């Protein structure tokens, strides 16, 4: 009977270890996502004063130190994300494309489409 108890205790300890090892990265990811959506300066007080917030911050910092390139990409994406959420059209000129007038294709594209349709008939 004692042998069963030892195995059961080992299984419980292993499950708890797995739970802890899984939950820390999840907490870090939640912190990263939350701070990407809402910067800490605008976060509600109840979030910043939560007991788990310091732990999630530590986990997020650890994850970001393991993936520094991901942080750099996030910093590049954040302004575009903010522009799209705000609904502003402050896109830089180099990213704007020459768009044809409303209601149709530009003449070169129209010619290519016409040629393609004629070839298919």
> Which pLDDT band holds residue 41 (cuts at 50, 70, 90)?
confident
Q: What is the pTM of this model?
A: 0.46
pLDDT of residue 1: 47
pLDDT in tens, 71-112: 677 777 777 777 777 765 555 555 555 555 566 778 888 888
- Report the share of the chain in percent with pLDDT over 70: 79
What are the boundaries of each domain within the chain?
Answer: 2-96
Q: CA-to-CA distance for 78 and 41, rounded, in angstroms?
A: 16
pLDDT of residue 98: 55
Q: What is the CA radius of gyration of the chain?
A: 27
Secondary structure (DSSP) of 51-82:
TTHHHHHHHHHHHHHH-HHHHHHHHHHHHHHH
Q: CA-to-CA distance for 79 and 13, rounded, in angstroms?
A: 45
């Amino acid at each position: 009977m004692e042998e069963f108890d030892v195995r059961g205790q080992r299984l419980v300890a292993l499950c708890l270890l797995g739970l802890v090892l899984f939950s820390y990265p999840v907490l870090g990811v939640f912190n990263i996502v939350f701070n990407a959506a809402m910067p800490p300066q605008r976060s509600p007080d109840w979030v910043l004063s939560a007991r788990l917030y310091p732990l999630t911050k530590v986990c997020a910092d650890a994850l970001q130190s393991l993936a520094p390139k991901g942080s750099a990409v996030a910093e590049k994406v954040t302004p575009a994300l903010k522009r799209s959420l705000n609904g502003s059209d402050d896109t830089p000129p180099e990213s704007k494309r020459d768009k044809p007038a409303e209601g149709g294709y530009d003449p070169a594209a129209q010619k290519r489409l016409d040629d393609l349709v004629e070839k298919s008939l």
